[in-house]
Amino acid sequence: MKTVTEVADLRQQIVEWKQTGKRIAVVPTMGNLHQGHLSLVTTAQALADKVVVSIFVNPLQFDEQADLSAYPRTLAADIEKLDSVNCDLVFTPTADVIYPNKMDEQTVITVPNMDDKLCGKFRPRHFDGVATVVAKLFNIIQADIAVFGEKDYQQLLLIKKVVNDLNFAIDVIGVPICREQSGLAMSSRNQYLTAQQREQAAALYQTLSSIKTSLQQGERDFAMLEQQAFSHLQQLGFKPDYIEIRHADNLARPNQVNQGNQGVSQLDSQDFLKIKLADPLVLIVLVAAQLGKARLIDNIICDLA
C-alpha cells in the first residue's frame, strides 16, 4: 500500500493507473477508522480496480476550534487497518496542502436548503465545509466512483446534489450502516462514550425501529411519533437535537395525513429539492442526540410501499 501527502505525487499515480485502463474509487474519511470505514473500502474494491482512501481532518467543517483540536488523530493505526484490507493508496494531506491560501479567502460551496434542517440547523456552515472539501478531493483524485456511508445521510444527499449540480464525472455510492451487536451505529464518536453510555446508546436504534414499526402498521401522525420519540430519548438521558420523519430521496417533510390513509401527500413548498418523488412511500427517520461527550446520529429507512 502506498501513502502520499502531496497532490503532485497522488496525481502521478492516478495518471499511471488510468493509462492502463484502471477504474478508480475514492473513500474520503477524516481518519480514526473503524469497521464501518473498512466496509466502505471493501465495497469500493468490488466496484473498482484501485481504491484511494483520503484521511484529512477538515477544519472548514468544524463549528468550533476546540472540536477541531479534540478530534482524534490516529494515523498510524488507520494506515495499519487499511493495509490489512489491501487498500491501494492512502492520501494524507495537511491543511496547507488542501487549503494553500488563507482559510477566510477560500472559495466555498454552499448547497441551498441544507442549513435549515436536521444537522444543518444545529451545525451552522458545517455542510459548506463538507461540500467544499469533497469537491476539492474529487478534483484532486479524479476517481470514477466515490463511496460514502449512509449513517451521515444528509451529507450523502448533499454530496450527490453537488455532483449533479456541478457536473462532476463521478458516481456516488452509499453503503448501509454498520452496527454493533447492540444495534448502535458504528462511529468514531462512540469512543467518547463510557461503558454504561455505550449500552444506553443502543436505545437510539431501538427508538428508530419502533417508529418504523408504527409507520408500517399504518400510523401517519408523524408529529405525534416524533414528539413521543423525542420525549422518550430525553427520559433515557439523551439530549436530542431532533428526531424527524422525512422523504428518503430528498429530505422533504411528508405532510400530515389521517391514520389509515395510505397516501402520502405533496411536498411542502419550501422543502429541499422540489422534484416529483419516484416513490413517495419510502421515508427515513433521522435522529441526532447528545449523550455525554458524544453527539450521535443514526437513521432508518421505512419502505411503506
* End-to-end Cα, the chain, rounded Å: 45
Is 126 one of the catalytic residues?
no
Say how far apart CA 125 and CA 300 lie, in whole Å. Answer: 25
Which grid coordinates belong to 223? 408529529
Dihedral of CA atoms 219, 220, 221, 227 in degrees, nearest 10, equals: 70
Single out the catalytic residue among 34, 37, 232, 247: 37
Strand partners, 303: 282
CA distances 47 to 134, 160, 202, 268, Å, are 20, 18, 32, 37
Residue type for position 207:
T
Judge whether 118 and 242 are in contact, CB under 8 Å. Answer: yes
For residue 225, what is the enclosing H or E element? helix 222-235
Q: Using alpha carbons, select from 235, 165, 248 the residue that is nearest to residue 207.
A: 235
Kindly state the cell numbers that stand for 286: 433521522
Name the residues annotated as catalytic: 37
